[in-house]
Amino acid sequence: MTSRTTTITATGLTALAIAAALTACAPTPEPTPTPTGFASEAEAFAAAEATYRAYVDALNEVDLSDPDTFEPVFALTTGDLNATDREGLSRYHAEGVSVAGTSTALLIEPRSVDLPAAMQLAVCLDVSSVTLTAPDGSSLVDVDRVDVQSLLITLEALPDHSAWRLADIEGRAGAPTC
């Protein structure tokens, strides 16, 4: 019995030693990265469009007498546009300006795509019903304002490329026409 027990024990120890040696030589498995970003340009465009529409909706909900209503606008912007929106809305609030009406995005198309970092949208924005009124009742809307604005919207991805923020809004010429 002793020799059989010794043989089984020796065999078991040898197997453990071989397994330990093989395990020690095996590389540590790399962690599986968590996917981030957009799976396709179509998915990226859909997210960019949703972000821009949310921005327009947030602006439509602004009450210039209540700065708390500005926060959803700021949450969707970054960089210079965020600073410009903060400055403009704060100034209107301080001056007692009121806003009425809503803007409506009539057309949103991808203009350029630089995944995963940036995207530009061509937008036609109907602002015909939006009014800005000074405390004395005078209109602050330029008499030459075009009712449907042709815009170029630049969006930048969050650091993990999981969502967009508006970085710039400027006038746009060319196709698509508004």
In-domain check, residue 83: yes
In-domain check, residue 177: no
How many structural domains are present in the chain?
1
Domain span at residue 84 reads 37-171
In-domain check, residue 29: no
User: In the prediction, which pLDDT does 36 show?
Assistant: 55
For every one of its 178 residues, what pLDDT tens digit does the chain have, with 9 covering 90 and above? 444 433 333 333 333 333 333 334 444 445 444 445 788 999 999 999 999 999 999 999 999 999 999 999 999 999 999 999 999 999 999 999 999 999 999 999 999 999 999 999 999 999 999 999 999 999 999 999 999 999 999 999 999 999 999 999 999 999 999 9
Residues 132, 88: Cα–Cα separation, whole Å: 12
Kindly give, in sequence order, each residue whose CB lies less than 8 Å from that of residue 112, ignoring residues fewer than 6 positions away.
119, 120
Q: Is the full-model pTM beyond 0.95? A: no
Q: What's 106's domain CATH number? A: 3.10.450.240
Strands (E), the chain: 98-100, 104-114, 118-126, 131-133, 148-157, 164-171
In-domain check, residue 53: yes
In-domain check, residue 164: yes
In-domain check, residue 27: no
In-domain check, residue 176: no
